[in-house]
Amino acid sequence: MPWRVRWIVYMIVLGAAALALSIIVLARHKSIDTDLLATLGIVGSLAIILVSMPHNGTGGGGGNGWRDYSNDRR
């Protein structure tokens, strides 16, 4: 597996773990400070997941965008 794909998978798993932890904290604790921090954690983990996901890469070259890993070496 190329290191770029491994890094993307790592970041998506990290974001999912942070999202799960933030939801658990939001559901279990009752103080307003913890609720605000958990909400901030949810927003941050969603940002990690969305930014790390690859897109189609149709950067004007028919699939030859800057994130096109189809010709990457192994």
The predicted model scores a pTM of: 0.69
The answer to whether residue 44 is domain-embedded is yes
Q: Does the residue 48 lie in any domain?
A: yes
Let me know the angle formed at the C-alpha of 24 by 18 and 29, rounded to the nearest 5 degrees: 125
CB 66 within 8 A of CB 59: yes
Is residue 43 situated within a structural domain?
A: yes
pLDDT higher than threshold 80 for residue 38:
yes
Please report whether residue 60 resides in a domain: no
- Output the average pLDDT for the chain: 81
User: For the segment 1-30, what is each residue's pLDDT rounded down to a tens digit?
Assistant: 788 888 889 999 999 999 999 999 999 988
Question: Would 36 be classed as within a structural domain?
Answer: yes
Cα dihedral across residues 19, 48, 60, 69: positive or negative: negative
Residue 27 lies in a domain: yes
Find all residues with CB under 8 Å of 39, minimum gap 6, and list them.
Answer: 22, 26
Residue 66 confidence (pLDDT): 58
Residue 63 lies inside a defined structural domain of this protein: no
All residues at 6 or more sequence positions from 29 whose CB lies less than 8 Å from its CB, including other chains: 35, 38
Domain that residue 41 falls in: 3-52
